[in-house]
Structure 1
């Protein structure tokens, strides 16, 4: 197999009818490391919206149980990628996602924004640091995949195209990124988690490296001191060099899914998809989306979020 054989395969597929299959090839074969980093950054960005950051702090999921929350989020999202929306595993994952979100007071605008980060941040990361840029087929397939996820979650007014997702993300961040003490605590806990994956003496270096990859809007929202221009340049150059090195390697022949990532620490003996995720926290409740009729089996708030 040549380096671009799989890209040629993707370009022969229909990015609308085979969206999740194309997305799976991109995530599990072409860019597994890059998608992991980009989706970490996607979720991290959401903390800078005070409403999201405060809720996460109140539930303590990302301050007291940071590793578990990281593991469960990664595993639930990747279950859908690995097995598809129509599979038993995929339906179970969607049901758990909806059961979690219906327990808290999350606005539909915030839900839509989080969905936008899943579409936009991987493209931006891969175009900047990947071994090649994402093809148009991959961009469209990713957009369709997350539009499908958004419909299963009952999210309203989902953008149609990648460009609309990008515009929605940029405008929402411009309007809502702001300082919040609780959100900063969630951010600090996440940075500590990332540093914990490596030997202790490297922790300060890893924190500086992570901050160097953040844009000014995030640094300002969390009130972090911006890294020096030299630090930023060296860190970003190093990540780009990694991408160039990957380009010289033979193509991956076996898929790599999130459950195989070394960062997933909480389930050394395996897990059940139905057991993943959070359970309601007393005193922190509400419904992320409003619908006409309740339907607990569907896993959404009032029946709009279907589980498959």
Structure 2
């Protein structure tokens, strides 16, 4: 009986039909290791994102877009959504971001619309790519929204960095397999292109440098303020609305099991007990094993993006013209050449 993969001491269980002929992709851990069921560690910790010294060749825009389309729509649709939700919560750990959002009132007054708007625009970018007509329209929409607010370049860059770092961390810890180095590089390339077209300056030139910059910001600038907690509490209440009311306290506790101590401290939340963290890790690892098994049984299906599902804000269909703060929609939907008053509003958030 052959071994599972190079460097693995386990034998491949050939009696299991989904394992027949299975071989670990280059650059990934074997199925037994990625399941993590033989060594569940206690406590939420940041995944070590140290990369191999040999970086792949720089990807072209189309190649990177195709990879991100596959990751978000086919390989990891559920995981990508969860990782980007976690990225959203982490942005609230920066007082400069939470303060801007609190002054705007959007996240507290309309958290669901703000969440859906962000999710729909990100999903459409991942579906079509920044070089497509649809992708360019999304970027233009985001630029016109952000032009009304005094958002610092560093805050924009940190948000962009979470769209790269958090999916990589999530897949490494909870996914049915980690992202390969090539997939990580394509994810970086995709969002670097988007960031450049949004006018974000100083984007690190490599994935390694971006991840280092992301970690440095979190270590140096995460700290508690009341605005962090207010925005995070409003967002959490919105996320829990999808659960039946009797289960919401349990769902809240489980969500806390995904967060590291620096995040909970910065948001004014209590860190989950170690047994909750272990339970959440075990549940997500089991889910990853089942997802891997089902993926081998089922033929590949159509891509599924967040924008394919009905949303509470817009129902089964939406248009780009609906996205954005309600007070700005008239100006946002006016052609740029005739739109009055495109100046920034320093009292509002994006």
Q: What band does the TM-score fall into relative to the shorter chain?
A: 0.7 to 0.9
Q: Is 1:278 matched with 2:325?
A: yes
In 1, the alpha carbon distance for the partners of 2:343 and 2:174 equals 39
1:193 to 232, 238, 256: 238
In 2, the alpha carbon distance for the partners of 1:15 and 1:240 equals 31
Aligned-residue offset at 1:173: 1.2
Aligned-residue offset at 1:62: 1.2
- Other-structure match for 1:91: 136
Instruction: Choose between structure 1 and 2 for higher RCO, CA contacts under 8 A separated by at least 6 residues.
Output: 1
Structure 1 residues 221-300: aligned runs within 5 Å: 221-250=266-295, 252-261=300-309, 264-278=311-325
Q: Is 1:183 matched with 2:221?
A: no
With structure 2 as the length reference, what TM-score do the two structures score? Answer: 0.75
| Per-residue CA distance 1:45-94 (angstroms, 9 max, x = gap) | 00010010011111112111011001000111111111222322212211
In 2, the alpha carbon distance for the partners of 1:93 and 1:101 equals 12
- Other-structure match for 1:52: 97
Alpha carbons 1:32, 1:256 under 8 Å: kept: yes
- Give the aligned length: 281
Structure 1: 5+ residue stretches without partners: 282-295, 303-308
Q: Is 1:64 matched with 2:112?
A: no
SS of the residue corresponding to residue 63 of structure 1 reads helix
Q: Is 1:139 matched with 2:184?
A: yes
- Other-structure match for 1:212: 257
- Other-structure match for 1:22: 67
In 1, the alpha carbon distance for the partners of 2:247 and 2:124 equals 32
Alpha carbons 2:92, 2:98 under 8 Å: kept: yes
1:170 to 196, 205, 215: 215
Alpha carbons 1:15, 1:22 under 8 Å: kept: no
In 2, the alpha carbon distance for the partners of 1:136 and 1:226 equals 32
In 2, the alpha carbon distance for the partners of 1:241 and 1:30 equals 17
Alpha carbons 1:15, 1:138 under 8 Å: kept: no
Moved over 2 A (4+): 2-5, 13-17, 278-281, 299-302
SS of the residue corresponding to residue 256 of structure 1 reads coil
1:124 to 169, 188, 192: 169
In 2, the alpha carbon distance for the partners of 1:88 and 1:229 equals 48
For the pair shown, the structure with the greater C-alpha radius of gyration is 2
Aligned-residue offset at 1:280: 6.1
Aligned-residue offset at 1:15: 3.7
In 2, the alpha carbon distance for the partners of 1:180 and 1:266 equals 29
| Per-residue CA distance 1:113-171 (angstroms, 9 max, x = gap) | 11110000000001101111101121011000000000011000101222111111111
In 2, the alpha carbon distance for the partners of 1:276 and 1:255 equals 23
Aligned-residue offset at 1:228: 0.9
With structure 1 as the length reference, what TM-score do the two structures score? Answer: 0.85
Aligned-residue offset at 1:275: 2.5
Distance 1:127 1:186, change over 3 A: same
- Other-structure match for 2:155: 110
